């Protein structure tokens, strides 16, 4: 595996070319100045939009300013992510953030103003000035929010309170990323090292059970110690969400979160009920895991160790890229050729270097191109990460190239479909082209564990969020004891009786950052189930399936997520896609068991 002590050592071809956004800092400074000036102009529209032309002038200026702002903010974000220790990059990002607050404040008047207009007046304006038809759908969509938008003065106050309301999330972020220390652990070589999150994800998969146990205990120790503090931050985040939902007249916090995507509450409930009704194959897999590992007692720190030993193979980035392109052939020539060009054009930042942000992501910058951040480790997991992020990147590319700016972005609800379709195509390709039985078993194990992590675990988290928000809505207390009890009950239900529960299990909720972005993780599960169905249909080679799927990738946010998915043949208002995905999970467990 290639490791680099400095970014300077990484081949240029494996780094981002940020000159695609700004060739020099002076251009960034000029854009910052320009947004600053335009923010003042936007503010001056407050109280002065009184005809079709002034409405059009405001909207055009607002879109142009928003576009430039996003570009300059993303540029600073990339600089910080490439080296989080870089103080110059941090100060640029701080300046961009402060400008963002000003921009948000300057435009906060607009939604209350728009909704104070009579709908017939707005429609008259749209007929009068031709350019307003570009904004028509978004303007009329705003009327859906009419009863949820507060009077102008209250909206301004909420806008000013933005930072205070995000304090629980920021506090947890500081505790989780900056303050928590996991202490020392002993590696299998007998070396004492400080435990990090990255190291934990490796050690929890170690063959040596004592190494796994020690890492597990060390990892959970600070969360157990800070249990009451973290409970306080999560409780505040949930109560803030519930209070805002009430203030904005939503029936519940859950329905507030589902509102923008026009997702009925039944989709969320369906997901939880259908998963729990089909949980048996997961319990069966847990039994197989216990038998395969030859354990008298299966514990939580035994759930991630691969069940097939000694199949680690080194896959260089170039090799991973080639394998990816072959596996995605069912998506058609244009898809594969376009993706091939991403590597030559340096849309990837490939290597892990000191100070670089961990993990991986794709960010599609409209008018520029997608940017993919990786921390490639030359292994199978890195191949899957590459394929996953390229699913997002191609979704960004297709949407940006086939939609106007106003509808080029896509919601998270559909985002996970594009990435997971790619992963499923990859695993099916690898299983088909692997003669080695051991490797086949390893890939099946990988597929099953990915299923467990993306579908079952996220549904478990979704139920935790639903129960804790409902408690807050009823005015019931939320504290460490309550969180521990709710989490442990759900964990037991999902994981079955084969697991012997360590004390640490019930503290699992306290380490999940997603809970500070409420009712978001269920989209991973619905996306995963949808992707399983689409990928398997693509492999059948029906031309209309490919055509429908590519249309979906080109659609951005031109329709609501459920409608976009229905065009691919997936109807999430019914339990079938979830049941079908869980049936496939059962088949995979059977196949693994038979091998």
Indicate which residues carry an active-site annotation. 389
Residue 168 CB neighbours (<10 A): 20
Cα-based torsion angle of the residue sequence 548, 553, 557, 563 in order, rounded to the nearest 10 degrees: 30
Q: Give SS3 for 54.
A: helix
Distance in angstroms (rounded) separating the CA atoms of residues 575 and 442: 30
Q: List helix spans (H) across 294-379.
A: 317-327, 333-344
Distance in angstroms (rounded) separating the CA atoms of residues 524 and 445: 20
Residues 6+ away with beta carbon under 8 Å from 558: 403, 407, 564
Among positive and negative, which fits the CA dihedral 335, 336, 337, 343? positive
Q: List helix spans (H) across 403-498.
A: 412-432, 437-451, 457-473, 480-495
Cα–Cα–Cα angle for 7, 9, 15, rounded to 5 degrees: 55
Contact between 531 and 570 under an 8 Å Cβ cutoff? The reply is no
For 42, 94, 96, 99, 514, the CA distances from 103, given in Å and listed in that order, are 8, 14, 10, 6, 27
Which pair of tokens denotes residue 203?
């050690």
Q: List helix spans (H) across 278-354.
A: 280-293, 317-327, 333-344
CA 571 to chain centre: 22
- For tokens 């220790």, the residue is 85
């Amino acid at each position: 595996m290639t490791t680099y002590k400095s970014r300077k050592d990484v081949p240029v071809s494996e780094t981002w070319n940020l000159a695609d956004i700004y060739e020099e800092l002076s251009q960034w400074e000029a854009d910052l100045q320009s947004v600053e000036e335009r923010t003042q102009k936007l503010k001056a529209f407050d109280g002065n939009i009184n005809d079709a032309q002034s409405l059009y002038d405001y909207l055009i200026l607002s879109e142009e300013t928003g576009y430039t702002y996003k570009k300059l903010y993303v540029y600073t974000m990339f600089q910080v992510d490439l080296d989080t220790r870089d103080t110059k990059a941090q100060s640029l990002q701080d300046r961009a953030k402060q400008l963002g607050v000003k921009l948000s404040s300057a435009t906060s008047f607009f939604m209350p103003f728009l909704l104070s207009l009579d709908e017939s007046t707005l429609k008259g304006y749209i007929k009068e000035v031709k350019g307003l038809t570009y904004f028509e759908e978004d303007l009329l969509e705003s009327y859906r929010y009419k009863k949820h938008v507060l009077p102008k003065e209250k909206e301004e106050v909420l806008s000013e309170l933005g930072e205070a309301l995000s304090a629980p999330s920021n506090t947890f972020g500081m505790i989780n990323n900056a303050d928590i220390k996991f202490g020392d652990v002993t590696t299998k070589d007998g070396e004492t090292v400080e435990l990090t999150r990255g190291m934990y994800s490796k050690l929890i998969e170690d063959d040596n059970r004592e190494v796994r146990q020690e890492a597990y205990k060390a990892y959970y120790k600070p969360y157990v110690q800070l249990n009451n503090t973290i409970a306080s931050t999560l409780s505040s985040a949930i109560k803030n969400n519930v209070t805002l939902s009430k203030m904005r007249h939503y029936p519940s916090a859950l329905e507030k979160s589902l509102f923008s995507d026009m997702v009925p509450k039944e989709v969320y409930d369906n997901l939880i009920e259908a998963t729990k009704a089909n949980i048996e194959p997961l319990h069966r897999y847990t039994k197989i895991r216990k038998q395969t590992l030859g354990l008298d007692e299966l514990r939580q720190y035994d759930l991630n160790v691969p069940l097939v030993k000694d199949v680690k193979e080194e896959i260089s980035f170039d090799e991973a890229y080639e394998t990816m392109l072959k596996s995605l052939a069912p998506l058609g020539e244009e898809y594969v050729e376009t993706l091939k060009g991403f590597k030559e054009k340096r849309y990837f930042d490939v290597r892990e270097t000191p100070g670089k942000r961990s993990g991986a992501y794709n960010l599609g910058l409209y008018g520029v191109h997608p940017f993919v951040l990786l921390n490639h480790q030359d292994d199978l997991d890195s191949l899957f990460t590459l394929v996953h992020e390229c699913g997002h990147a191609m979704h960004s590319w297709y949407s940006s190239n086939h939609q106007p700016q106003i509808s080029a972005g896509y919601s998270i609800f559909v985002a996970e479909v594009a990435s997971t379709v790619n992963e499923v195509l990859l695993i099916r390709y690898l299983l088909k082209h692997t003669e080695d039985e051991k490797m086949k078993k390893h890939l099946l194990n990988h597929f099953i564990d990915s299923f467990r992590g993306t579908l079952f675990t996220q549904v478990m988290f979704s139920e935790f969020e639903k129960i804790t928000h409902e408690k807050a809505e009823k005015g019931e207390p939320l504290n460490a004891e309550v969180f521990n009890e709710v989490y442990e009950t759900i964990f037991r239900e999902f994981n079955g009786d084969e697991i012997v529960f360590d004390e640490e299990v019930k503290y699992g909720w306290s380490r999940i950052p997603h809970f500070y972005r409420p009712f978001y993780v269920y989209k991973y599960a619905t996306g995963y189930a949808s992707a399983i169905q689409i990928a398997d249909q693509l492999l059948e080679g029906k031309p209309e399936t490919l055509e429908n799927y590519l249309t979906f990738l080109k659609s951005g946010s031109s329709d609501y997520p459920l409608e976009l998915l229905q065009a691919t043949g997936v109807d999430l208002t019914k339990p079938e896609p979830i049941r079908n995905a869980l049936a496939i999970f059962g088949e995979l467990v059977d196949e693994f068991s038979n091998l």
